[in-house]
Chain A
Amino acid sequence: MSASPAPTTTPVDVRGLRVTFGLVHAVDNLDLRVPAGGSVALVGRNGAGKSTTLRVLGGVLPPSSGTVWVGGVDAAREPRRAREVVGYCPDVGGLIPRATPWEHLQLAARLRGMGPGWEERATDLLTRFDLAGAADRITSGFSHGMGRRLSVLLAAFHEPAVLLLDEPFDGVDPLGVEATLEEIRRARMRGAAVLVSTHLLQLAVSACDEAVVLRSGQVVAASPSGELAGEAGAARYRELLT
């Protein structure tokens, strides 16, 4: 792995990121920056490297090479500190099957060392995501959409400097989508950097200022998300995928 450059003030600063699994380059020389209060959508086909990128930023997966700074922390060298500033919603599940939402929140509050105000914040989020009635039920009985909503809620719980959402809208009903969009707005307003990976182009356009299109682990286009809006944007997006 190459030596880290000087710390950056940009909350998400990725340079030359490579992730390889055997002979496969899942992410290949990726550069990505998300400023404070900004939001970027990662879009692309299945296997383009979106989830892998987010897992590296979330401190779950070590990069093969390149530098990854999140919230001013080198994620490769100090993964534990990186996790303190990141809130991550995984693309699949992301929930302990036989724990309740409240138990997830309690565990997160404990491991993140959150202050006594955590219960108030947890109750507020559960209400906004329409999960207050299910707060003490086992998550394995949840519908897919409920699980997604809870994953987003858990990522945003500690008001992180970097919010990483992998497929947050997948299978979520319109009210859940609205709650997620609202949470993204709130995160940006407090100065957090938001990175959203999604297949739903129109929601990506709604949620983010900028869109980065990935193909085979590489950036093939980066533009204001508005350029991918509407039918013309969708047609351009399809061209970029092939």
Chain B
Amino acid sequence: MSGRGQVTALFALRWRMIRSRRVRIGLIVLAAVSLAFVALAVVSAASVPLGQVASGSFSATDLVTRTGPVDHSGELAALLPSAMLAFGLFCIIAPLSAGGGTELIPEAELVAYPVRVRTLVRLSLVLTPLNIAWYLQVLVLAAVTSYALRGPGGPGLPLGVLVAFMAACTSLGQALGWSLVGVRRTRRGRRGTWILLGTGLLVAAWVIVTDRGAAVLDSAPTRRVLGAQLRAAQADLAGSAPVVLVLVVATVLGYLASVRIASWALRRPGDLGIDGPLARPVVRRDFPTSDAQALRRVDRASVWRSAPLRRGLLVLAVLPVAAALIASLPWSSIALLPPLVASGAALLFGVNALSLDGSGALWIATLPHDPELVLRSKARVVTEVVGGSVLLVLGGASLRAAEAPTLQDLICVVGASLGCTAVVVAICLRLSITRPHRADLRGPRDTPAPPGTMAIYSARLAGTTTFIGLLFSASTLGAVPVVPVALTLGLLFWAAWSWTRTLRMWSQMSVRTHVVTTVATG
């Protein structure tokens, strides 16, 4: 069967594997809504009237305070190279953190079939839009391009250049991601990547400390892409063609390199990391003082010893913090960070927290214990990961905040952090017992649920947390502390109510049996 035939066959198989009619309908709706949003963003941004040219710097408060049409196209066009640079970096980091890219069907389940490496790479490329962070950046870039670079013939040609840029970044990111998978199969390779990461962090710290952020962004290679977009907007096709050609060639080379590198990476013998025979033995710990502590220890170890979870946590710890440090954000924007980070952290494993036990869930179920302790332990570990990620990004952002915070700012940021963490944990635990999945979380591309389900989860979590974040962000503009306080209390109350319902469901043996047998045996 040809590579394309295999892609189609595997998609058909995956579709048939979705037993729930609701999930099928949800996926179709999600795909339609996603496409509709992009179209809406492009059309509405292109039809916003351009009035007088804005003076001074653009800020979110301008949207509230200014009246009448104002032309921000120049300012937004100036931001485009930085936004495209961020997209490019994301395209590199996303497959790096996902161990090469997204899997349609776990590798272990395909081992008996002659699936070509080319098929795996194509599937991974096709599934890229399921990453909500990728999609949101595409949405923003398309909207900004349509608004700021509309030419006499509309935004079509600049958007074409943008599409070529996105394809090149996504394709090259795949190649780099697969390279890392291959390199990290040996201890020496893993050490090398740590050194590389450390060097990258040092360079980033140097850029931040010496205030060279603006200079770095000004010399970004994405300025050439903007140049090509500007020429395309003026229907100067010959002027924009060289950049487009380079981008198309980069896309093709990135794809071909991905296939070759993935083929090498998947065949390369490795020492299998911490669960291989060469791994150092785990140090024994003292006897736990309580049943709860015993379960928590195992759950925490299950998180830290999982390669995809460790990598995801590292990305969550480094990327938003670095971005916040470089960007020097106002407090109204800082209030948006906890919700975004919380939903990202939850998607690592929280949406299917019981899968941490794997097939051992069946064994644990035969031990004499209070079943509530098992769920409480999972809730605690999910809270630690989500809350820890939120605290890290807040710490980073507050170090380089654009201005000193007011009391209102502090209340909003703390409220957003507490409220979002509580809501996200409550949603995660609920999903964990109502929609359990078998997930090993062992291989570099393993996720806690199938890709379609993960897309629905990420849309749901990101939608909820972004809405909460916007409420708190808007609250920073006001001067009435009672609003963010009431909002926080409301969210905490909802989370507590949801958690109580989840515990009540978990107390039913039939529910526990369903969850345990699903995560243990599929």
Using a CB–CB cutoff of 8 Å, the interface residues on chain A facing chain B are: 55, 58-62, 79-81, 83-84, 86, 88, 90, 92-100, 102-104, 106-112, 135-141, 151, 154
Contacts and interface: CB of A to CB of B under 8 A. Distances in A.
Contacts of B277: 137, 141
Contacts of B279: 137-138, 141
B294 interface: yes
B363 A97 contact: no
Contacts of A100: 281-282
B113 interface: no
Contacts of B297: 103
B298 A99 contact: yes
B478 interface: no
A106 B364 contact: no
A90 B362 contact: yes
A240 to B, nearest CB: 27
Given A96-B357, A96-B364, A98-B305, A103 B282 contact: yes
A88 B366 CA distance: 7
5 contacts: A60-B517, A81-B368, A111-B368, A137-B281, A138-B274
A96 B360 contact: yes
A100 B285 CA distance: 12
B78 interface: no
B83 to A, nearest CB: 39
A92 B521 contact: yes
Contacts of A103: 282, 297-298, 301
Interface stretch (B162-170, B399-407, B508-516): B508-516
Contacts of A109: 287
B21 interface: no
Given A93-B362, A98-B301, A84 B288 contact: no
A95 B306 contact: no
B519 to A, nearest CB: 11
Nearest to A86: B366
B203 interface: no
Contact of B509 (A62, A107, A112, A136): A62
Nearest to B365: A60
Given A86-B366, A94-B362, A110 B288 contact: yes
A60 B284 contact: no
B281 A60 contact: no
Contacts of B516: 60
A80 B275 contact: no
A137 B294 contact: no
Contacts of A106: 285, 287-288, 294
Interface string B256-291: 000000000000000010111101011111011001
Given A79-B509, A136-B282, A107 B367 contact: yes
A106 B288 CA distance: 8
Nearest to A98: B305
Interface in B337-359: 357-359
B520 interface: yes
Given A62-B513, A111-B291, A83 B301 contact: no
Given A58-B365, A138-B305, A151-B363, 14 more contacts: A60-B362, A88-B366, A95-B359, A95-B363, A97-B302, A98-B302, A98-B306, A103-B297, A104-B360, A106-B294, A107-B364, A112-B367, A140-B275, A140-B358
Nearest to A166: B362
Nearest to B286: A106
A137 B521 contact: no
B158 to A, nearest CB: 49
Contacts of B208: none
B409 interface: no
B442 A97 contact: yes
Contacts of A81: 368
A21 to B, nearest CB: 10
B103 interface: no
Contacts of B276: 141
Contacts of B441: 97
Contacts of A93: 358-360, 362, 520-521
A99 B274 contact: no
A92 B359 contact: yes
- Kindly list the 5 A-B residue pairs having the minimum CB-CB distance in the complex, ordered from nearest: A93-B359, A96-B360, A141-B275, A136-B281, A98-B305
B187 to A, nearest CB: 15
A12 to B, nearest CB: 15
